[in-house]
Structure 1
């Protein structure tokens, strides 16, 4: 009897439902068309499970069984952190080959290893599970014998022993699963292990079938087992979000937006702007003296930052910042690395990871921007403006440790554009725009928060031209073709030579339509070659150890250039360049450029150094109604993806009428323009003046290329010296004067050899014309062009000799040229001092400089005079003591000596004005 009771206590639904039944359900759902029909099939399975659970619950009130054993198999991707098998397709293929004793070169082994390759897979190309089914269908029993509980137990054992690196134990459990399952079951088991189920139902649909509030509840705790256990009754609703201390949840997220849409999104009401920090989202939980830190995905990093005041690299510095009446709280913020000396934050371009040990010289700093829980009270249903009020009650900010993110109120689109421009200038990631009435909704992008970043605005980002050198086989709807590409940049060569070595730089897989991808694949199809790691191509260099190895490669001369955009350049060991791109995407495939015209490693290095890694190359401009004086670029909202980027699009000049002939017969290429004169506006004006516009300059035909800001599109043109590249300011001067103004050196960014020879005939090395009169503005530019080497600089004594030689009686302004003076206007000599209020020496300093004197801030060795204020001579003994120790003596004088020199028009003997008598 006792043994029967024990059996009842451990009895669960999962121990009674065959795994084959679950796999049959998944197969049926995957083959059914229509989301509602799929959900009805799953609904029937869940209802049957609940009926069985109710029966067991009646028999034994001690059961804790739930739908979790089945749910974890239906949504395996939600268990990535809780259950990590450490097995992906390639490793699983090798395990299957070993367990089935397949020859490594056998057709079936090759199918498993090269499941993405169309020629070897034979099943659904790119679907590893389908290939597994194809290989195992004649090697497995027709019916499986395992129950769901047994399958989960074996999967848990695989995860545990894989983490412990016990390969033999892992192999034993895999053998058990393979020998007790049908091919169909192994197909679905494979998808569960690699955590890509592909049954055609989304996570939201599966959770909604189980319980109407299941997705919302999962979003606030990230615990699938807890969802299944607490929400077993679909008739019991959760009306308040269950946020509690030390229970991780996915924080609220921001939706994409552009500056020209903010007013509409906010319905014309005021909104809040915050900086979007370039760190890691982190949620801090505090309960009395205990602390926990969770990332956006629910991963815990308490070991790094500290669980109490004695541990970690952050809590010991912030525990005393919390107000004394704060018992518990949950704070949302961004974890950054702060440099206390420079008062700057590290960026991802610096290859920093705030979740690990701090980079040398940096310390973790939490920028807090929201509070969700305060002294046992859930605040998520309060509007943002009220939550920000609570935030000030929680802690006292401390620079470099824990701070409240600064926010400001705004109302217009222009306010948003100005804030984004400030973020670009500050090399920030972007800005956050928030509705002050928004409540806190975990794991949603539709709650009234919007992120505005430079890469979301057309025309703001620098474009990079890179060469496709490798490809990766696609899966799903991209199966049968290359879906991702390895891109490279050229190693610089001698002038005029085509590059022959290319360094891997980045991997791209987004930004193009399916048709564009198909067309690109068709263009390169015959040139792909299988990548052999034993004999890699000599023209393409990958990172040591081939950390980013493509499935296939292509000879550079057979490939083509793609134009890409990205958020920033970051350090990376995966690519030969040592750097790569963050969030890269394709702008267009460049059929107009030769393969050898891609960027070089030098270009990438210069771009990273110039911008600190950030790739925002312009400013936002909201249109002609805004202030033209602000140097910004136009916002483009992309409802339909254009063939060309905004900066390459030509203006519509079909209705432009010619009004002058100053550019008649001349072909001009406009790259960009200054504030108030964008590319399209300049192009229309050129046509008005009789010129012709082209988008790609010709070496022989194009008169000039006009540039306001050099961008990487013209980097090769600048280096080649094959084009006359002129400043946009020259073109504007031509428009203002209605005259074709001859070029001067200050107008030129680059010149053709023939133009350079003409300029050398008419201008000197500093840009001063031999024949034209010079106006003040031109003279300023000429003087700015003159660079003086330190060795060429004249000392005051040199200048004095020249003045004496050439202007002996004409100018008094070199009167004190040979003097170097220290002005004793401080209360202490040589130490931190207090300045004498209203000291007469302050004004005297200006006079002395005006008449050529050199003023020293210290008692330097080459000093000639020390000037003392007669109202305070207390430091004279110290000064005289210092003078005694020197081989070269200096005079200690008062203002009277200076006045006597000015009266005489020359330096007078200091003896009569020397402070010989000491006074106290």
Structure 2
């Protein structure tokens, strides 16, 4: 019996191997007969597919319009639909129409809708400039004309709104000279067939006839959406999960285990059919969506608590986070397949058998006896045997290609570090615990001399163990840590607290940031379209690096900075460098001032350049310095991030090459000294004795607040233990700068960071879609909460303190607090308010209550308050006098809305406010008990009101709605003379 057969695993039913994987590979075009033979159970459509025009008219454009809507508007007396409900309705209607008019095979259209998930058609050999050149030839326009130039140089700003949006730029130009002004008659099936041909075409003479056919048969709008499909940049406001859920309840599950749209469409076309537990298992040679690590918690103690350790089993695991590419390897009887996290097939690069590839040719004997098939999950990294260490991630593809050309050389090579096993000899292991999976992994895989290894881990029991490991990876400039719960199962395509990454973000090698001179600029795309969104930065050539007779104003390229800029930063840089930018001419590069790479032929040349003495200095911070051949210095910054503009510096005082070398040597010496210190401390550490060390992550503010906290004296503060990243100023309900918001948070105990990845569960705060927030939204990794949530938390806290409640209660997030939702927070937010938007957890302000009542559909029974009080017992009524909202119990209000048009709507909520404050609402002006009239500033109407009431024994006070609102807000009846209507001729 083999070692594998001896593995003691829990009794979980074996999952059969699914034969319906995509065995043909991408770009294999099959005939209908071949499809019937390969997939006999696939559904057949009863009618031809819909026209392509219906796809954009019925689906894409309605979804895009809904994406731009703030909120749905309902018919009077009905509840308005929310954007996510409208989105689902649009998709449901389209799918229902497809089933009724076409049939149950939705694969032809879904591969266009979710084009970025379609693995059956590989990427096209087309980028924006290539498509632009093709369209210039298709439309027979001069490439040097305004439109020809705009197509090829699509990022450059102009008079239109399409800068940075290539598809929109194409639409604007095609619309001037279309072959069709009405939608074409190309069907979805025909478009797929043409796209198949286009994906196989690698030369311009093959691509041009296909693009010409598209141009002749589509109008400008159709071509715009076609280009978005080719670029795989749809962004219609609906994720693949939304489409999957609308198609079938198990669609997302099947996609997670197979990464195949074809399987989702052809196996789950019947809504009555449901997958059993065996069918929800990973299968050999079928790419799955791997489990992902959760983002770091607020503190290490929080991370440990989140794993719900028990006294019987308090162990968790710590692994080093590797700087490579996530990879899954499938093996069966000598055959291999490799896929990346994004389902990209890398089998040709790493090898399909023991006789090819840069990796698998070295894996003979890598598996124990008895291993017939296996699926493992790990990280592909680069190992340099000459340096005996892991090298930068950017060298991985180069090392793999060199490994194919020179299999037994001594240069850098791919190294596969395995940390999990999902399948063994026909048995799916995802429902086993990590500890059991690890046992199976160690008995299945052998270490192969820096080619394939089982990733090591260490056991831990408390947060101090993570801290010690984190200090070690910081000293070694490693990526960080991953902590794992050994009792957890493997969850496909999910982030949860069983796997958490701890990354010391921006653990810079330097105590100070680097001051770099801007040498060039790159036009932005998408939300940054029309502006220079990133900048080429360089170091001054000095000392021995400057040749005799060379220009002392000579700079070498060092890095490209594009992160950390706000809209204000871009505006300020544009103002400071106005009229100084020069278009980059590849034939005549400005070598007198700038060296891009050796020979001056950089693959990523800037769009424009600027003389160093006319330029500005940026302060840039980064994770580390890495070797590179992309920039002339030979080194560059990893994850460079803009900090601020150094207006006090110029090109002569910015960082030079010699200063960088000296700084790096100083840092390396400090690192060596720190390693020695840690080693001495570890020797001194006694067993069982824990030394408490201060732990901090760079980016957090470590300065004590200079202002008074609103927390209870000596007690906990409101935001204590919470982390915040403020990305913009506040616009509502009052304007407040970013720095002011940060001070406000710190004064209430919160910690401020300057990166969204500084800690897990960080609260990202922003109030407008500036460039930085737009970039974060594109990532889809974090919710962005408006500063109003901060203000509401503080306001409610202060109200609680006034009432003698000294707790630090953080109010739940409401829909109004959300600028952008990347998680399920939007769904949870809807449960924090009632159907009218009234919060369950906090007191509304007068403005909010006024708005709520204004938007409330229908009217209320004006006798409600009186009847309600009559229904209370005597004991219940005794406490009403203490309620601020009962201050008008002796008042009778008349809200004047006669003949005032829009003013009617503005005054309507005043009646509701008075009603809820205990007043009686008079039905008409003839009621002699009226004490107050709420009116507008209409001069004519004020004269009429005074004529009606001037002979009454008790003349009512005429006030504005502000008197009512202010009285309720201050919880006292204010002097009416301060709120008299001011006559005006505006009405």
Provide the residue aligned with 1:540 in structure 2. Answer: 594
CA distance, structure 2, for counterparts of residue 135 and residue 440 of structure 1: 50
Deviation at 1:399, TM superposition (A): 4.3
Deviation at 1:41, TM superposition (A): 0.9
CA distance, structure 2, for counterparts of residue 488 and residue 613 of structure 1: 25
CA distance, structure 1, for counterparts of residue 462 and residue 509 of structure 2: 21
Confirm whether residue 454 of structure 1 aligns to residue 504 of structure 2. Answer: yes
Provide the residue aligned with 2:335 in structure 1. Answer: 290
Equivalent runs, 1:205-220 vs 2, <5 Å: 205-220=242-257
Q: Which SS does the other structure have where 1:220 is aligned?
A: helix
CA distance, structure 2, for counterparts of residue 308 and residue 614 of structure 1: 47
Q: What TM-score, normalized by structure 1, do the two folds share?
A: 0.61
Equivalent runs, 1:88-237 vs 2, <5 Å: 88-120=127-159, 122-140=160-178, 141-143=180-182, 144-162=184-202, 165=203, 167-237=204-274
Match of 2:347 among 302, 305, 309: 302
Please tell me whether the aligned partners of residues 431 and 451 of structure 1 are also in contact (alpha carbons under 8 angstroms): yes
Greater mean deviation of Cα atoms: 85-94 or 286-295: 286-295
CA distance, structure 1, for counterparts of residue 562 and residue 120 of structure 2: 26
CA distance, structure 2, for counterparts of residue 111 and residue 148 of structure 1: 30
Equivalent runs, 1:424-823 vs 2, <5 Å: 424-446=474-496, 448-455=498-505, 463-492=513-542, 500-537=553-590, 538-543=592-597, 544-604=600-660, 634-636=695-697, 646=701
Q: What TM-score, normalized by structure 2, do the two folds share?
A: 0.57
Q: Which SS does the other structure have where 1:119 is aligned?
A: coil
1:19-76: CA deviations, max 9, x gaps? 111121312221122233123212211121122344xx7xxxxxxxx22221121122
1:199-248: CA deviations, max 9, x gaps? 22233333333334333432332222222222223443445433101112
Provide the residue aligned with 1:246 in structure 2. Answer: 285
Equivalent runs, 1:252-291 vs 2, <5 Å: 252-257=291-296, 260=300, 261-267=302-308, 269-291=314-336
Q: Which SS does the other structure have where 1:93 is aligned?
A: helix
Q: 1:135 to 1:265 in 2, by over 3 A?
A: same
Q: Which SS does the other structure have where 2:443 is aligned?
A: helix
Please tell me whether the aligned partners of residues 558 and 632 of structure 2 are also in contact (alpha carbons under 8 angstroms): yes
1:782-803: CA deviations, max 9, x gaps? xxxxxxxxxxxxxxxxxxxxxx
Please tell me whether the aligned partners of residues 121 and 199 of structure 2 are also in contact (alpha carbons under 8 angstroms): no
Please tell me whether the aligned partners of residues 381 and 439 of structure 1 are also in contact (alpha carbons under 8 angstroms): yes
Please tell me whether the aligned partners of residues 472 and 483 of structure 1 are also in contact (alpha carbons under 8 angstroms): yes
Structure 2: segments with no counterpart, 5+ residues? 1-31, 37-42, 70-82, 404-408, 679-683, 709-987
1:131-167: CA deviations, max 9, x gaps? 22221224221221211111111111111122xx2x2
Provide the residue aligned with 1:887 in structure 2. Answer: none
Please tell me whether the aligned partners of residues 400 and 413 of structure 2 are also in contact (alpha carbons under 8 angstroms): no
CA distance, structure 2, for counterparts of residue 214 and residue 618 of structure 1: 52
CA distance, structure 2, for counterparts of residue 435 and residue 462 of structure 1: 37
Q: 1:598 to 1:11 in 2, by over 3 A?
A: same
CA distance, structure 2, for counterparts of residue 119 and residue 594 of structure 1: 31
CA distance, structure 2, for counterparts of residue 495 and residue 569 of structure 1: 19
Provide the residue aligned with 1:355 in structure 2. Answer: 400
Provide the residue aligned with 2:869 in structure 1. Answer: none
Provide the residue aligned with 2:416 in structure 1. Answer: 366
Q: 1:611 to 1:104 in 2, by over 3 A?
A: same
Greater relative contact order (CA < 8 Å, ≥ 6 in sequence): 2
Please tell me whether the aligned partners of residues 472 and 482 of structure 1 are also in contact (alpha carbons under 8 angstroms): yes
Please tell me whether the aligned partners of residues 220 and 249 of structure 1 are also in contact (alpha carbons under 8 angstroms): yes
1:875-918: CA deviations, max 9, x gaps? xxxxxxxxxxxxxxxxxxxxxxxxxxxxxxxxxxxxxxxxxxxx
Q: 1:197 to 1:309 in 2, by over 3 A?
A: closer
1:795-824: CA deviations, max 9, x gaps? xxxxxxxxxxxxxxxxxxxxxxxxxxxxxx
Q: Which SS does the other structure have where 1:500 is aligned?
A: coil
Provide the residue aligned with 2:857 in structure 1. Answer: none
Please tell me whether the aligned partners of residues 219 and 442 of structure 1 are also in contact (alpha carbons under 8 angstroms): yes
1:72-94: CA deviations, max 9, x gaps? 21122224783222112211111
Q: 1:87 to 1:289 in 2, by over 3 A?
A: closer
Provide the residue aligned with 2:442 in structure 1. Answer: 392
1:703-726: CA deviations, max 9, x gaps? xxxxxxxxxxxxxxxxxxxxxxxx
Provide the residue aligned with 1:864 in structure 2. Answer: none
Please tell me whether the aligned partners of residues 121 and 196 of structure 2 are also in contact (alpha carbons under 8 angstroms): no
Greater mean deviation of Cα atoms: 67-76 or 90-99: 67-76
Q: How many residues align?
A: 624
Confirm whether residue 45 of structure 1 aligns to residue 94 of structure 2. Answer: yes
Equivalent runs, 1:70-85 vs 2, <5 Å: 70-79=109-118, 82-85=121-124
Q: Which SS does the other structure have where 1:367 is aligned?
A: strand
Deviation at 1:96, TM superposition (A): 0.9
CA distance, structure 2, for counterparts of residue 322 and residue 11 of structure 1: 43
Structural RMSD (CA) = 3.9
CA distance, structure 2, for counterparts of residue 375 and residue 439 of structure 1: 19
Structure 1: segments with no counterpart, 5+ residues? 58-65, 639-644, 656-920
